[in-house]
A and B are shown apart, each in its own frame.
Chain A
């Protein structure tokens, strides 16, 4: 019994040292690999800035080259949003079908919680990568995400 306790004590010491050395191996690996550095020198590398894949800049709606999107104006994102950031204004096309008229997104109220994107059944909205949104007036932070006649070229 006593011998076992002694062995347990010694193996505790040895295993402790081995685990500490393993941890030191991990950190020295980071120290000697400059490619793993994630810090961006932002204003200097503004042209070549690469944002992270999971970065949440703002809600955006991707369009294909014909100007089409996946939104069916179901309004689930509008109901999901805790802040009332999104207003989906539906309209009817020539055949009387319900289509998206205007997708209004108020960036000044958005907390970038990602709930709208997770709830969208069609994958019509994604998180964009832009983040330079400093403006002098809150009104300038109200965006229309879908391409309408007014903002098609802008």
Chain B
């Protein structure tokens, strides 16, 4: 093993995010720490990625039910908590059917891509001060690049299915996601411009202070508009209602996932929900102070909030954004394809460029920093 000769200082430089467990492993097994730590982080991420969608699907169904004056799943487990595990188990045991004339390799490759994309983005989410698998300097660029993988998965699924509905759904979805990625990237660019860094951890740390220092409130009015634009374009990016034209049950019988069944369908479905978590987590990181505790400037509440560990705040903020996504989904009517493109190219994109310009103006005036 050539790694045995590595300088101990270089590990410090390799892992800027210091973590109690990681440091303990490094002191106990200095030689094989880089393998053990990677395994630990992969296992914990894997656990998170596999448990989150189960919980999120249950949450979505419960929230949807409450918005529609229903109860939602109530029978399996306490208030239906085990319902989505039961559904997942059913999907695992179902037969996977491949349509005649489908491209076998691409057909089975396609569901893996979105799932692995979410896994990869999850690795750089800053859950806490010292709870982040990796913190690359260009984290934002990494996030944008990886999210392209899920578009690829959907396009391949539609292409390989040998079904006109799948192909139409995939092409619509591809057009939609590529269009809205522009506004999403521009909103991210605004924050990157203001913070002067593309590392997610640094972006969170740039929001230290009171709640008024979070990017959503820091810019006078602009932050709120930027947050709204992020919400709109990320909802479209996630293919969620009101922008779910890729599925479009009533027109396309399920879009790109028409021919998928069993576990390959479950992978698309799971990836969709983990994607929602990742997107909400990035919204929390960019606009809501990530793992930082909300300091509202009241003397006896602030220390109490500061005691609560950062990952709790991260998850609270993330689930708040997830609730917003669900609220949108169960309130708004769906857009037509042309209305969707109108929204992106004629409304969001000019508004985004204007926002970016005014952000630069504020920076030049030095009024906000």
Contacts and interface: CB of A to CB of B under 8 A. Distances in A.
Contacts of A26: 331
A13 B354 CA distance: 15
Contact of B327 (A27, A36, A39): A27
A114 to B, nearest CB: 25
A30 interface: yes
Interface size class of B (residues with CB under 8 A): 10 to 19
A39 B347 CA distance: 41
B90 interface: no
A24 B332 CA distance: 8
Interface size class of A (residues with CB under 8 A): 10 to 19
Contact of A31 (B67, B71, B74): B67
Nearest to B71: A39
B320 to A, nearest CB: 13
A27 B71 contact: no
A24 B67 CA distance: 10
Interface in A12-64: 13, 20, 23-24, 26-28, 30-31, 34, 36-39, 41
Contacts of A30: 66-69
Interface in B238-277: none
B70 A27 contact: no
Contact of A27 (B65, B74, B330): B330
Nearest to A44: B74
Nearest to B330: A27
B70 A37 contact: yes
A37 B68 CA distance: 8
Interface of A: 13, 20, 23-24, 26-28, 30-31, 34, 36-39, 41
Interface of B: 63, 65-71, 74, 327-328, 330-332, 347
Leading 5 A-B pairs by shortest Cβ distance: A39-B71, A27-B331, A36-B69, A31-B66, A27-B67
